């Protein structure tokens, strides 16, 4: 959706179950926001469903920006991405420096098979 009074847009993501939400305000109006973890997971699902791949670049860029600028529970994102079969997409989006950390993928040579022992911690 595009705001006619500003350069801003809003993405609407339809879901079957209630989303996690956080209370906030926009221009003095009380509202709720989707948690950043939930938004990342929704965007991963959108990328998975989008063909051709080039059309999903905005969602990939959004995920990168969220991860770079917002504190998130990486463990929660990883666990849910695995359950939703979007972990490979997440691996392709993570910054190279994150992908090379042993705590994330189990190797310092880049992306490798993902195991529970290799998960990122919230402080990584």
Q: Taking a C-beta distance cutoff of 8 angstroms, is the pair 62, 43 a contact?
A: yes
The pLDDT of residue 106 is 44
**Rounded Cα distance, 54 and 47, in Å:** 10
Mean pLDDT of the chain: 78
Confidence class of residue 113 from pLDDT cuts 50, 70 and 90? very low
Structure confidence by residue, pLDDT tens digits, 21-62:
888 998 999 999 889 999 999 999 999 998 888 889 999 999
* C-alpha torsion angle, residues 50, 57, 36, 64 (rounded to 10): 140
Q: Can you give the residue ranges of every domain in the chain?
A: 35-118
Structure confidence by residue, pLDDT tens digits, 91-104:
999 865 444 444 44
Q: Taking a C-beta distance cutoff of 8 angstroms, is the pair 21, 32 a contact?
A: yes
């Amino acid at each position: 959706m595009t705001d006619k009074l500003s350069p801003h847009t809003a993405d609407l993501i339809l879901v079957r179950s209630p989303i996690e939400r956080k209370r906030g305000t926009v221009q003095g109006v009380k509202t709720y926001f989707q948690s950043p973890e939930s938004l990342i997971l929704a965007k991963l699902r959108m990328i998975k469903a989008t063909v051709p791949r080039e059309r999903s670049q905005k969602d990939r860029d959004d995920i990168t920006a969220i991860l770079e600028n917002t504190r998130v529970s990486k463990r929660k994102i990883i666990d849910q991405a695995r359950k939703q079969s979007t972990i490979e997409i997440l691996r392709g989006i993570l910054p190279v420096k994150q992908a090379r950390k042993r705590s994330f993928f189990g190797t310092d040579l880049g992306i490798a098979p993902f195991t529970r022992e290799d998960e990122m911690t919230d402080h990584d």
